[in-house]
Amino acid sequence: MSKQQKLLVILVDGLGDVAIPDFQQQTPLQYARTPWLDKLAATGRSGLLDSVEPGLACGSDTAHMSILGYNPQRYYRGRGAFETMGAGLDMMPGDIAFKCNFAFMDPTSGIVVKRKADRHFETIGPVLCKALDNVKLPSFPNHTVAVKYAIEHRCGVRVRGPRLTDAITGTDPIKDGLPLVTCTPTDHTQEAELTSKLTNELHSVFSRILDSHTINQERIQQGKTPANCVLLRGCGSCIDIPSIYELHGLRSFLIAPTCIIAGIGMTAGMDILSVPGATGDYHTDFSAKANATVRTLQLPSYDFGFLHIKAVDETGHDRNPQLKVEYIEKVDKMVGDILQQLKDVEANNEMEFTVVVTSDHSTPVVRGDHSCEPVPFCINRVRQCMQADVSGCGLTSQGFNEIDCALGSLGRFCGNQVMPLAKAYLNGTLS
């Protein structure tokens, strides 16, 4: 009897980087000690991945869509719907939604001083969201507004009502120290004109509520930055796409505490797993995520697991190279834990596991934002990796990093090739 073939994709958000002078001109991934990732790459196949296309500094949303097999140019309608669904708000055709930041805006000048009012928002974020939820828009009595806290400084906002469209700009100036953007249509329809007016009124209503909220009054008295503004970003509508099963014939689950990635998974018909302790930030429980992944992947109801790791991306945005190394090494330990557990499962069950490790984009610590460099990619069978003797895994010739993977047998390829490549590995036509 043939063994059941199972696929696990481990995607480390923002993993790629560039050379750091303090690291002897190595990238954080080269500099970090990653014996398990190195062994996985050295005994399998590796290459470099442009998650959407070469030269594009993409967002996590379009990158994940591309990697899962959905052409962003065909399907993408903004990230707001993904964030909102992942936060726990349902979406229906005709709804629009925004991925939002709580921010600090100078009320006199209209300058957005800080796009992220405070990264530590876990306590006050849900309270402020509750104050904004179900607000009434005087000029738009037939529309309803729902607000749900997401993570850190972010929330999802859904607007429901007649004649809405996502063909509008947002209000986010993208950088600190710039004026708030007035929402405008991006096409010439009456729906876009109406929606842009509604969005500007929504911003004003939110700001009035936040200005007078006791939390912000107390923050001002304490010398802290008030969260007196909600930046309405990435307006998106509910999209209709084939499910992962329809597209690839794989029964899938997703572990991703980050709301936007969870929303993509929901849209693609993946089962979303909630793992206690998996927070999507620096405090996330890597061990809990590893255990949940292995426990779920061996169930007969699944062929494909997708594990998203966010914390490494945060270190890049925070411009902290030492912390990026630290979290890369934590990820490596987690990967080793997963490989050892899957080896034991294979020994006692009629199953074989293939593991992919890659990223969605580079987030260089010297820039603090996404950039266009390709990211390392490797694929391997657990059995093949774990049976190999690689001298204690202290590799120098073929490790898992941006430079060594460039020399790998897979070359350089785009995200739309990931799932075909992985399925070829599963069925034995590529090994």
Instruction: Name beta bridge partners: 179.
Output: 111
User: For the chain, what percent of residues have pLDDT higher than 90?
Assistant: 83
Q: What is the pLDDT of residue 391?
A: 54
97 is written with which tokens? Answer: 């939604």
pLDDT at 38 exceeding the cut of 90:
yes
Q: What is the DSSP letter of 416?
A: G
Domain end among 194, 219, 237: 237
Phi and psi angles of residue 46, each rounded to the nearest 5 degrees, phi first: -140, 165
Q: How many residues does the chain have?
A: 431
Same domain, 70 and 91: no
Give 392's pLDDT tier (boundaries 50, 70, 90).
very low
Domain end among 237, 264, 284: 237
With beta carbons less than 8 A apart as the criterion, state whether 60 and 418 touch: no
Same domain, 93 and 168: yes
Q: How many domains does the chain have?
A: 2
CATH number of the domain residue 382 falls in: 3.40.720.10
Q: Distances in Å between the alpha carbon of 335 and those of 328, 330, 394, 396?
A: 10, 9, 16, 19
pLDDT at 251 exceeding the cut of 90:
yes
Same domain, 108 and 52: no
Give 137's pLDDT tier (boundaries 50, 70, 90).
very high
Domain end among 203, 237, 271: 237
* Burial of residue 320 (number of CB atoms within 10 Å: 0-12, 13-18, 19+): middle
Angle value at C-alpha 373, between 372 and 378, nearest 5 degrees: 130
Question: The pTM is what?
Answer: 0.86
The torsion defined by the Cα of 285, 288, 293 and 294, in degrees rounded to 10, comes to: 140
- The 10s digit of each residue's pLDDT in 276-294 is 999 888 989 999 999 999 9
Same domain, 231 and 333: no
Same domain, 201 and 256: no
- The 10s digit of each residue's pLDDT in 328-351 is 999 999 999 999 999 999 999 999
Helix 259-267 and helix 80-87, axial crossing angle in degrees, nearest 10? 100
Q: What is the DSSP letter of 70?
A: -
Same domain, 345 and 415: yes
- The 10s digit of each residue's pLDDT in 367-389 is 999 999 999 999 999 999 998 77
Same domain, 181 and 69: no
Give 240's pLDDT tier (boundaries 50, 70, 90).
confident
- The 10s digit of each residue's pLDDT in 170-218 is 999 999 999 999 999 999 999 999 999 999 999 999 999 999 999 999 9
Give 238's pLDDT tier (boundaries 50, 70, 90).
confident
pLDDT at 101 exceeding the cut of 50:
yes
Same domain, 131 and 265: no
Nearest residue to 186 via CA among 170, 159, 167: 167
pLDDT at 396 exceeding the cut of 50:
no
Provide mean pLDDT across the span 71-88: 87
User: For the chain, what percent of residues have pLDDT higher than 70?
Assistant: 98
Q: What is the pLDDT of residue 394?
A: 43
- SS3 for 265? helix
Mean pLDDT of all residues belonging to the chain: 93
Same domain, 329 and 230: no
Same domain, 152 and 273: no
Calpha distance 407→189 (Å, rounded): 50
Instruction: Name beta bridge partners: 154.
Output: 101
Nearest residue to 251 via CA among 3, 5, 2, 424: 5
Same domain, 224 and 337: no
Provide mean pLDDT across the span 301-323: 96
Range of the domain at 320: 4-76+242-427
Q: What is the pLDDT of residue 257?
A: 83
Same domain, 129 and 210: yes
With beta carbons less than 8 A apart as the criterion, state whether 321 and 20 touch: yes
Give 390's pLDDT tier (boundaries 50, 70, 90).
low
